[in-house]
Structure 1
Amino acid sequence: MKMARIRFSIFFSVFVAMVGLMIIAPVMPPLIRELGLSETHSGLIISLGSIAMAAMAPVWGNWSDTKGRKYIILIGFVGMFASYILFTATMYAGLRHLISGGLLVVLLVVARTMVGLFIPAVPSSAQAYMADVTDEKGRSAGMALIGAANGLGLVLGPAIAGAFALIDLIWPLYVGALLPLIAFVVALMLIPTQKSIIREKAPKVRPFQKGVRLYLFVGLATMISIVTLQVIGGFYFQDQLSLTTRETARMVSFGLMLSGVAMIVTQGLQMKRSKLQPKTLILTGSLLLIISMALFLFVISPLSFYVAFFLFGIGTGLMMPGFMTGSSLAVAREQQGSVAGLVASVQGVSAVIAPLLSTILYQLDKHIPFAVVAAFVLLMAMTLLTVKNEPSPSLSVTELGVKESQ
């Protein structure tokens, strides 16, 4: 019963954090135009938030090792609430012409950056908590639960925004401010308080540390693939199929929903059958992702694109728990928060790199972004195949140091 309570509270916490990240995206362009600002301002606001997310994720992960997982999760939700209140109030004041110009832009940048600063506190601490309460055999199922929460937030975040935007464009922001409060209460009531993991100062996990860097590479390939499809998919399908704007929006929305459902179902099955090792999950997912890219590139029809979306969802649904589990098993117990922070940081880095790179490549040739994604994933898979399986340090830092010195 206790484990079921923990799993639900961790799932809900990660889900709310992802919804908080995604709920802004659909209404940001129309809100920016309502405020009389430009697309450049929108890009600046979103990019700085992503940079803040990438920078702070490892910090929150390290703090969860020393301060405790639950404490950092709660701080994350308080910070998200305060950030959304500032962001929503600024938007409201701008729409009512109470503030404008440079002050409006600065306040929006500050508020969106604050959202980026606090959101990674939740997934990094949640991943580390899941590592604390699962053994090596159950780690893959635990990480699949977190991946499913990410996937569900990825799908429902824009859907929630679209539904409440029917009332008014600013209503999704009200929901974005309310959800962290609900999640705070759930986490406070249901997540058991644990003592901090670190009893002696453990070495920080470095991004290029042996055993970790490969799984961060996998995470980067996975997240860049997801963001690239989200960013340039609409342009590509409209150009390839000669669709109207409305037809494009309908197709992309349904395709991304299909992909998200496939991702969630795949991870749900993984939770029940957790026998597959991280390497197997990643390689199987990579193969399906590459096939989906080939379908996008070489078979030009709506049906083939929907099949590609579905395969893409299954592929990423396998790769996400694969790199999360692999990175978790690659470090000692006292370093789970540190490595979880690096995994969360990968998402922020991808959100910075992929939109800029994919749009530049698309202007050169519409096929290049998907080809680059396929090549990048293939390179990652080949690298993974050449690396021998290493024993996972499921020991404390002290025990691990003694073992390595023998």
Structure 2
Amino acid sequence: MNKIKGSVFFSVFVAMLGLMLLAPITPSLIRELGLKEIYSGILISSGSVMMAVMAPVWGNISDAKGRKPVILIGFIGMCISTLLLTAVFYAGLQHWLSGGLLLSLMIGARSLVGFFIPAILSSSQAYIGDVTEGKNRGSGMAIISAANGLGLVLGPAVAGIFTIIGLLWPLYFGITMAAVACVVTLLLMPATKPALRGGGVKVSPFQPGLRLYLLAALVTMIGLVTVQVVGGFYLQDQLGLPSDRLAGVVSFGLMFTGLAMLISQVVQSKWLKWGPRAMILLGSLILVASMLLFLFAIQLPFFYLAFLVFGLGAGLMMTGFMAGASLSVSHEQQGGVAGMVAAMQGISAIIAPIASTTLYQVNRYSPMVMIAVLTALLGLVMLARSRKRLGYHEADPMEGREIQAGSGGIK
């Protein structure tokens, strides 16, 4: 089991790291290539759209073909597509390509990256769903959540370090890490039999027991992306930071978030072992508290505390929605539901940057208020549903009990 958890953690971490390495260098690359700033958003969005579309597809393929083959395909595709994207950028910087052709090739290569990365994310989550049951599912999903959080936070930091050598060096590093992860997966990850027997049953995002966890996934990821997108602007405007200090301050803040997400996973997997609803309820309360800290803090140490509290809440919520979604379907549907959860990441990466920056132009506090309101509403809905279930004696979320309801899986 330790070999499985270790290889799955490394796979998800490398996938998220590779995904996040591009974001910090895109604005600089766009300007070096002489393109308009709007193309930076188009480039990032193209990969996010492809992720949202392909994540459920790869999840279903992993149900039919097995988890390990799909993860290997994902890393091979990630290697090749990132290499193609790097080659296109290099050709543009050398003035071998320009104009519409350059932009089209950039979007095409970036879309390919978004095409293959969900194969790793959805299949890895489904793998954990295959090898864990009941209360252990939350502990298993904590591994996925921790790897996600670590990749989300370290990606921009690693990119910043490698840009000291050169603008394309973060991508060279991403290609190398994908190749290493492919070898690690091939050698260390045990193979599993396909989950489907016969035609299988497709997962609907609207089926009872699942839709609320997908909503929780969307809200949590919108919060994470929003803090990443507008956090730097907010700190600079609130504290009057000079531009040359801003990157370091934001990097420290995001590292506190990543550290807190890791801490929350350790606490959940080793000691709490709560059910999905309890994790989401507690996480939503902590996350709202972090937004209040962001809104009322006036000194840098309190902003760092806000980043830390935000990571604790987001970490619990991420583990909660992953475990809850996995428990809400049958064994044969683990790949499909993991794909839908991964698709929420892609959708949030489309919605959050546009919504948060638009709101920020209206009022600098609006994005943080948006996160607080969305999270509070989610918590209230989850609490109402939990009380309703308790009234019918179906589940006790505070004790982590989930009861199988029919042959469709655990509800």
TM-score of the superposition, structure 2-length normalised?
Answer: 0.94
Q: Secondary structure at the match of 2:200?
A: coil
C-alpha separation in 1, matches of 2:297 and 2:380: 25
Q: Does 1:293 align with 2:300?
A: no
Structure 1, residues 358-403: CA drift from partner, whole Å, max 9, x if none?
11111111111111110000110000011134565769xxx70699
Paired with 1:150 and 1:236, the residues of 2 have a C-alpha distance of 24
1:186 aligns with 2:184: yes
2:140 & 2:96 partners in 1: Cα distance? 48
Distance of 2:281 and 2:73 partners within structure 1: 37
| 1:57-103 Cα shifts (integer Å, max 9, x gaps) | 01111111011111110111111011011101101111111111111
Q: How does 1:265-284 map to 2 (within 5 A)?
A: 265-284=263-282
1:65 is aligned to: 63
Displacement after TM superposition at 1:250 (Å)? 2.3
Residue 163 of structure 1 aligns with which residue? Answer: 161
Residue 11 (structure 2) aligns with: 13
Q: Which residue does 1:80 correspond to in 2?
A: 78
Which of 120, 123, 128 pairs up with 2:121?
Answer: 123
Matches within 5 A, 1:139-158: 139-158=137-156
Q: Distance in 2 between matches of 1:345 and 1:403?
A: 22
Q: Which moved more, 1:76-85 or 1:157-166?
A: 157-166
What is the CA–CA distance in structure 1 between the aligned matches of 2:203 and 2:312, rounded to whole Å? 30
Distance of 1:167 and 1:85 partners within structure 2: 18
* Per-residue deviation, 1:274: 5.0
1:138 alignment counterpart: 136
Deviates more, 1:237-246 or 1:115-124: 237-246
Question: Which residue is equivalent to 2:399?
Answer: none
The 2-side partners of 1:18 and 1:227 are apart by: 13
Indicate the residue corresponding to 1:27 in structure 2: 25
- The offset of 1:251, in angstroms, is 1.8
CA distance in 1, matches of 2:280, 2:257: 17
Shift of 1:325: 0.3
Partner deviation per Cα, 1:290-319 (whole Å, 9 max, x = no partner): 011111112322122111111001101111
Q: Deviations over 1:259-314 (max 9, x none)?
A: 11111121122222252111111111111110111111123221221111110011
Q: 2:259 aligns with which of 258, 261, 266?
A: 261
Match of 1:307 among 305, 308, 320: 305
1:352 aligns with 2:359: no
Q: How far, CA to CA, are the matches of 1:30 and 1:310 in structure 2?
A: 29
2-structure distance, mates of 1:384, 1:199? 34
Q: Tell me, in whole angstroms, the C-alpha distance in 2 between the residues paired with 1:183 and 1:154.
A: 17
CA contact (8 A) 1:198 1:334 kept: yes
* Aligned twin of 2:371: 373
Q: Provide the C-alpha distance between the structure 2 equivalents of 1:93 and 1:229, rounded to a whole number of angstroms.
A: 33
Distance 2:351 2:332 in 1: 31
How many angstroms apart in 1 are the aligned matches of 2:404 and 2:332? Answer: 10
Q: Which sits farther off after the overlay, 265-274 or 341-350?
A: 265-274
1:38 matched residue in structure 2? 36
How far 1:200 sits from its partner (Å)? 2.7
Shift of the alpha carbon at 1:238?
A: 1.2
Alignment check: 8 A CA contact 2:331 2:409 kept: no
Q: 1:97 to 1:393 in 2, by over 3 A?
A: farther
Distance across 1 between alignment mates of 2:408 and 2:190:
30
Q: Count residues with an aligned counterpart.
A: 399
3-state secondary structure, aligned to 1:178: helix
Q: Say what the alpha-carbon RMSD is for the aligned residues.
A: 1.7
Cα distance in 1, alignment partners of residues 410 and 288 from structure 2? 39
* Cα distance in 1 between the residues matched to 2:279 and 2:134: 15
Q: CA deviation at 1:163?
A: 1.8
**What is the alpha-carbon distance in structure 2 between the residues aligned to residue 306 and residue 91 of structure 1?**
35
2:359 equivalent among 358, 361, 381: 361
| Distance in 1 (alpha carbons) for counterparts of 2:185 and 2:167 | 29
Q: After alignment, is 203-212 or 47-56 more displaced? A: 203-212
Task: Give yes or no for contact 1:66–1:196 (8 Å, CA) kept in 2.
Answer: yes
- Asked whether the 8 Å contact 2:327–2:409 carries over to 1, the reply is no
Q: Tell me if the contact between 1:289 and 1:316 (Cα under 8 Å) persists in the aligned partners.
A: yes
Aligned-pair CA distance for 1:240: 1.4
Of residues 42, 45, 49 in structure 2, which corresponds to 1:51?
A: 49
Instruction: Give the residue type in structure 1 aligned to 2:328.
Output: A
- Partners of 2:410 and 2:82 in 1: CA distance: 48
**Structure-2 residue corresponding to 1:343:** 341
1:225-240 superposed matches below 5 A: 225-240=223-238
Q: Secondary structure at the match of 2:10?
A: helix
Give SS of 1:23's match.
helix
Structure 2 residues not aligned, in runs of 5+: 396-401
Q: Residue 198 of structure 1: SS of its match in structure 2?
A: coil
Q: Which amino acid in 1 is paired with 2:111?
A: T
How far did 1:252 drift? 1.3
In the TM superposition, structure 1's runs of 4+ consecutive aligned residues that sit over 6 Å from their partners are none
Whole-angstrom distance in 2 between the partners of 1:322 and 1:175: 32
- The amino acid across from 1:9 in the alignment is S
1:119-163 Cα deviation digits (max 9, x unpaired): 011110001000111111211111001111111112221222122
Q: Secondary structure at the match of 1:119?
A: helix
Q: In 2, Cα distance between the equivalents of 1:304 and 1:160?
A: 25
* Structure 2 residue aligned with 1:400: 407
Report the CA distance shift for 1:140/1:258 in structure 2 as closer, same or farther (over 3 A).
Answer: same
Mapped contact 1:288–1:314 kept (Cα < 8 A): yes
Q: CA, structure 1 residues 402+180, in 2 after alignment: closer, same or farther (shift >3 Å)?
A: closer
Residues 230-239 or 110-119, more deviating: 230-239
